[in-house]
Structure formats: C-alpha cells, structure tokens
C-alpha cells in the first residue's frame, strides 16, 4: 500500500498538491424569481447528488427573500433543507442580497438578521450553527471604519466572513446557459460550457501564480460558484478540471485555517477577491486579470440577463 502510494506520488511528477473549498452563492437559486419551487428542488438535487457522490464538501449561501413566493414556499424551503440532509453546510448571504457599499451599516445589519430566520431554524434541526457570511457582490465596505464595524457586528453574531480567492464569473455564464436550456439550444449550452471551463483554467492559472508571488506558496483556495443549472448540469466537469490541476476538496472552515487568511487586509472599495485585498494592502496591486470573453458579456446583455454589472 505504502509502496503503491509512493509510486502514484512519483508518477504525478510536477502536479502540485493543492486544495480548494467549493462555495455556492445565491441559494436557493440565482434565478429563483424565474423558477418554480419544484424546478429549484430538481436543480438543487442534481447539483448536490454530484457533490455527494464525489465526496466533495460544499457550503451554500442563502438569500431568504427568494423563499417567499406565495404558494411556493414549502418547495423552496425543501430545496434548502436538501443541502443539510445531504451533509452540506448553509451560510448567510443577507436577506435580499444587499451590498454593504450601497446602504448605511444599520440597514445592512438588519438585512443580515432578516436573512437568518429560516436558515437558522433548518440548521438547528440538524444540530448545526450558522457560521459563515458571504458579502453580496463581495462588497465589504467603502471605508475602513464601516468595514471594521461590520466585521465586529458579524463576530458578535457568531459569523466568520467567507472569503473568495477564485472567481470565474460562473453567474454570467449561468444566466445565458439557463436561457439556452429553456430554448433547447444544446449547441449554445455546449459552447458556453467550453468557454466557462476554459476561462476557469485561465483564472486558476492566474491566481495560483499571484498567490504564490504573494505568499511563496499556494494557500488553500476558496472558489466562488452560484446555484444555477450550469453548475447543476456540469459541476462534475469542473471538479474533473480541478482534480487534473492537483486539487483536493476541503471544507471552507479548513480553507480559512490557512495562515494566508490572517494576513493584513485593509482593502476598501468595490467588491473583489482576497488575493486582490492582500496585494493592494501590501501596495502591490495585481495587474492583468484574464479578460472575460466579450461574446459572453454581449450575449448576456442581448438576453437581458445582465446589465453588465456583476450580480454575484
Ligand atoms: Zn450573491
């Protein structure tokens, strides 16, 4: 056994040992307003079946305002509950996906509290606590005082902030993919999938290199995804891609135990990932993040799924 492991390790040659936590935002579904509860349940079930079969830990971040659709509440809550029944974790993404950069702090804090009601109830039934909050749009404050006060508030309510180091804008692909899926346009679905996986590769190349430049090693990474049919249908392809890069899958709690996440971070401004935060705090802003494919942006605008502004 030891011998065969040693041989496996050697045959991998230069493939680094990497780890990543899978985090999925905008539950119960990014497009919940255009879906029935039954469809949300079907999407959730497909997504979680792949993750569970492959023993990949994941956490989903909830916007509870998406639960309240008259006559459809039960199915939406059942979809959320599936996460916990299948052994995954849930966190808070504020009630109505409210940016801390766009409203006064007390208003935002109220959005955090309103976002806890159903999720905390479901967690308690599974003997779990709410441990993580993900900032909508990754907006963590426009000035340092607001940022620190928000963090103190979150700490007082038992939260850790859920960071992001890898983001390939899957939400942008997701809206167009869901439209193509509705139209039965399998050619466009395939084209989007290929572009998505290819862009993800360039994003990983880029941030692996940048994080190594910053820390001298690649910290445990945190990947941002969204609850869409794109991920439900194809997260298996994404997991394959990551495995080929040497990634093993870990929980968010494990990822943020990496010392990198305790390094100085005084970033304020428009929402962005932690690797940007750390680089800017050191006075070494990152240049040259891979350009997002323009045809995908154009397609999204054309289909009115996006105004061109990020919706994560
Ligand atoms: Zn979001």
Residue-wise pLDDT for 115-172, tens only, equals 999 999 999 999 999 999 999 999 999 999 999 999 999 999 999 999 999 999 999 9
What is the average per-residue pLDDT within 50-73?
97
Cα of 254 vs centre of ligand 1, distance in Å, is 22
CA 310 / ligand 1 centre spacing (Å):
9
Answer whether 54's CB lies under 8 Å from 256's CB. Answer: no
- Say how far apart CA 217 and CA 208 lie, in whole Å: 9
Q: Mean pLDDT throughout 9-14?
A: 49
Of 178, 90, 98, the residue nearest 128 (C-alpha): 90
Distance of alpha carbon 196 from alpha carbon 201, whole angstroms: 9
Helix (H), strand (E), coil (C) string for the chain = CHHHHHHHHHHCCCCCCEEEEEEEEEECCCCHHHCCHHHHHHHHHHHHHHHHHCCCCEEEEECHHHHCCCCCHHHHHHHHHHHHHCCCEEEECCCCCCCCCCCCHHHHHHHHHHCCHHHHHHHHHCCCCCCEECCHHHCCCCCHHHHHHHHHHHHHCCCEECCCCEECCHHHHHHHHHHHHHHCCHHHHHHHHHHHHHHHHHHHHHHHHHHHHHHCCCCCEEEEEECCHHHHHHHHHHHHHHHHCCEEEECHHHHCCCHHHHCCCCCCCCCCCHHHHHHHHCCCCCCCCCCCCHHHHHHHHHCCCCCCCCCC
Q: In the structure, what pLDDT confidence band is assigned to residue 14 with cuts at 50, 70 and 90?
A: low
Going by C-alpha positions, the residue among 218, 216, 211, 224 that lies closest to residue 252 is 224
- Given a cut of 70, whether residue 20 has pLDDT beyond it is yes
Q: Which residues surround ligand 1, an ion (CB under 5 A)?
A: 25-26, 312
What's the whole-number mean pLDDT along residues 207-235? 97
Q: Over pLDDT 90: what percentage of the chain? A: 89
- pLDDT tens-digit series, residues 183-215: 999 999 999 999 999 999 999 999 999 999 999
The structure's pTM equals 0.93
Neighbouring residues of 213: CB distance < 8 A, sequence distance ≥ 6: none
Ligand 1 centroid distance, CA of 24 (Å): 9
CA of 72 to the centre of ligand 1 (A): 22
Q: Which of 4-13, 67-76, 248-257, 283-292 has the lowest mean pLDDT?
A: 4-13
- pLDDT range class, residue 306, cuts 50, 70, 90: very low
Task: Tell me the average pLDDT of the chain.
Answer: 93
| Rounded distance from Cα 1 to ligand 1 centre (Å) | 44
């Amino acid at each position: 056994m030891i011998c065969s492991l040693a041989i496996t390790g050697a045959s991998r040659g230069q493939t680094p040992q990497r780890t990543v936590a899978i985090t999925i935002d905008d539950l119960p579904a990014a497009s919940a307003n255009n879906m029935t509860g039954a469809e949300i349940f079907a999407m959730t079930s497909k997504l979680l079946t792949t993750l569970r079969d492959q023993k990949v830990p994941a956490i989903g971040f909830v916007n509870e305002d998406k639960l309240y659709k008259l006559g459809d509440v039960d199915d939406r809550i059942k979809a959320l509950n599936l996460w916990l029944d299948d052994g995954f974790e849930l966190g808070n993404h504020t009630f109505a996906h409210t940016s801390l950069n766009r409203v006064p702090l007390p208003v935002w804090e109220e959005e955090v509290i309103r976002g806890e009601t159903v999720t905390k109830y479901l967690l308690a039934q599974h003997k779990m606590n709410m441990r993580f909050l993900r900032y909508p749009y990754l907006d963590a404050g426009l000035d340092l005082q607001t940022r620190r006060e928000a963090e103190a508030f979150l700490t007082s309510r038992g939260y850790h902030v859920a960071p992001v180091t890898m983001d390939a804008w899957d939400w942008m692909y997701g809206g167009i993919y869901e439209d193509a899926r509705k139209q039965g346009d399998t050619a466009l679905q395939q084209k989007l999938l290929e572009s998505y996986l290819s862009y993800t590769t360039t994003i990983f190349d880029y941030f692996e290199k940048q994080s190594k430049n910053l820390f001298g090693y690649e910290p445990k990474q945190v990947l941002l995804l969204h609850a869409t049919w794109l991920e439900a249908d194809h997260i298996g392809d994404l997991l394959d891609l990551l495995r080929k890069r040497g990634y093993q899958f870990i929980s968010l709690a494990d990822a943020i135990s990496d010392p990198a996440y305790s390094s100085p971070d005084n970033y304020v401004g428009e929402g962005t990932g932690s690797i940007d935060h750390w680089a800017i705090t050191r006075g070494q802003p990152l240049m040259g993040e891979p350009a997002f494919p323009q045809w995908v942006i154009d397609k999204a605008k054309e289909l009115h799924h996006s105004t061109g502004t990020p919706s994560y």
